[in-house]
């Protein structure tokens, strides 16, 4: 298994990225990593030569504030574009990890790797923790605004294949809506409901966003604008709750401070559960190879988690499974 990593993408590149790659090959003996970027900056972090790490020279870097399409077109020697071209060209590479600009990674993957035939729009699938100790996939969590019903059907198909690749048997697919009854929703979700209900997936119908982290569903299907809203509301609410708790502790006198001291490991564990940085990245599914977008501020632990996740998804043949499902859909509903 060989994963290519954009060594220059992200706030902490290249040091944390390269460290993450080293952690990943340490953790998985069958894994090889290809790093794209500036050899002079990567080599010192590697601290020696490993036959399981290869460097692809790339001198340019795409910054977070560049226009994605223009950057991908105009910087053929950037670490991201070099990585994407190798991903497309090389059969020995199963997927890619980048902590660079989300727009550039998505646009680049679309332009350079290409989408799976039959998938109308690739989507960004985020992995969130649930209170039952599992995960829920939020798909799409930001790649596509202004979706059509068929896009949501494809998000459901891809999210389900992703959940299966993560080891979930017969994943429960829910459609995020403003109420659970079948008639609830906006024009988009009402039409999408009918399509997904006919798709042969294990569709549990409409689900309120209140239920997202409850563990009741494995895949939450949503338009990318709304998925982004939901994801960032989760994040903002968590930040706010910890801020309120801190305020209450500060005005709560000795008793509260003592309590906080004793409760610190428990509070830390909850923060850890919610930490993007520890939970790998979001997968851009629907392109011909596995593309994992790590958080821009990712440190080595997160990069390592992302690399291992790409390897696991490749092992489970997520791309092949999406293609099979697309073929079934075409046969079943003539799409």
Contact positions toward a copy of itself, by CB under 8 A? 130-131, 142, 145-146, 176, 178, 185-187, 189, 208-214, 224-226, 228-230, 232-241, 243-245, 247-249, 252, 255-256, 258-267, 269-270, 273-274
Task: State in angstroms the smallest separation of the CB of 130 from a copy of itself.
Answer: 8
Is the Cβ of residue 40 or residue 251 nearer to a copy of itself in the bound state? 251
Complex with a copy of itself: residue 94 or 212, whichever CB lies closer: 212
Closest to a copy of itself by CB, 235 vs 327, is 235
Residue 262, class by beta-carbon neighbours within 10 Å (0-12 exposed, 13-18 middle, 19+ buried)? exposed
Instruction: Single out the residue of 237, 235, 214, 233 nearest to residue 225, CA to CA.
Output: 233
Nearer to a copy of itself by Cβ, of 73 and 268: the residue is 268
Min CB(302)–a copy of itself separation in Å: 19
Q: In what order do the strands lie in the sheet with 290-293?
A: 53-57, 32-37, 2-6, 95-98, 290-293, 282-285, 123-129, 135-139, 219-221, 173-177, 203-208
**φ, ψ (nearest 5 deg) of residue 271:** -60, -40
**H or E element, residue 269:** helix 253-274
Nearest to 334 by CA among 122, 150, 144, 123: 150
Tell the smallest beta-carbon distance from residue 266 to a copy of itself (Å). Answer: 4
The CA dihedral of 113, 169, 1, 29, to the nearest 10 degrees, is 150
Which of 270, 328 has the CB closer to a copy of itself?
270
Contact assessment for residue 145 and residue 223, using Cβ atoms and an 8 Å cutoff: yes
Residue 22 vs 249, nearer CB to a copy of itself: 249
Nearer Cβ to a copy of itself, position 145 or 333? 145
Residue 209 CB, nearest distance to a copy of itself (Å)?
A: 4
**Cβ at position 276, least distance to a copy of itself in Å:** 12
Whose Cβ is closer to a copy of itself: residue 196's or residue 319's? 196
25: left (phi over 0), alpha (psi -120 to 50) or beta: alpha
Asked whether the CA dihedral 129, 155, 290, 59 is positive or negative, the reply is negative
Q: Which two tokens stand for residue 84?
A: 């994407």
DSSP H or E stretch at residue 309: helix 300-315
Give min distance, CB of 1 to a copy of itself, in A.
33
Q: Taking the complex as a whole, how short is the minimal distance between the CB of residue 92 and a copy of itself, in angstroms? A: 37
CA distance 302 to 294: 7
Nearest-approach distance from CB 28 to a copy of itself, in angstroms: 29
């Amino acid at each position: 298994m060989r994963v290519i990593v954009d060594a220059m993408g992200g706030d902490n590149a290249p040091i944390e990225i390269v460290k993450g790659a080293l952690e990943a090959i340490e953790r998985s003996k069958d894994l090889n990593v290809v790093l794209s970027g500036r050899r002079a900056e990567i080599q010192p972090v590697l601290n020696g030569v490993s036959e399981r790490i290869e460097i692809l020279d790339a001198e340019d870097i795409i910054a977070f504030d560049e226009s994605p399409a223009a950057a991908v077109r105009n910087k053929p020697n950037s670490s991201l574009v070099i990585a994407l071209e190798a991903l497309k060209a090389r059969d020995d590479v199963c997927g890619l990890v980048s902590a660079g600009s989300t727009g550039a990674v998505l646009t680049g993957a679309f332009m350079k790797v290409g989408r799976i035939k039959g998938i109308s729009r690739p989507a960004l699938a985020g992995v969130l923790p649930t209170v039952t100790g599992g995960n829920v996939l939020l798909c799409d969590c930001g790649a596509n605004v202004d979706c059509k019903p068929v896009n949501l059907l494809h998000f459901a198909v891809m999210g389900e294949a992703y959940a299966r690749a993560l080891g979930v048997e017969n994943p429960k697919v829910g459609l995020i809506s403003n109420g659970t009854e079948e008639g609830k929703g906006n024009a988009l979700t009402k039409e999408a409901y009918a399509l997904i209900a006919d798709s042969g997936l294990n569709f549990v119908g409409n689900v309120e966003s209140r239920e997202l982290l409850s563990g009741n569903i494995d895949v939450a299907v949503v338009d990318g604008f709304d998925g982004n809203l939901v994801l960032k509301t989760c994040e903002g609410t968590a930040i706010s709750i910890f801020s309120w708790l801190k305020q209450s502790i500060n005005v709560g006198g000795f008793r509260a401070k003592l309590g906080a001291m004793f409760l610190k490991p428990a509070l830390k564990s909850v923060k850890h559960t919610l930490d993007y940085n520890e939970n790998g990245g979001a997968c851009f599914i629907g392109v011909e190879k596995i593309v994992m977008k790590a958080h821009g501020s990712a440190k080595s632990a997160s990069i390592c988690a992302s690399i291992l996740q790409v390897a696991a998804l490749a092992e489970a043949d997520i791309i092949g499974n999406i293609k099979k499902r697309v073929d079934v859909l075409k046969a079943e509903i003539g799409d």
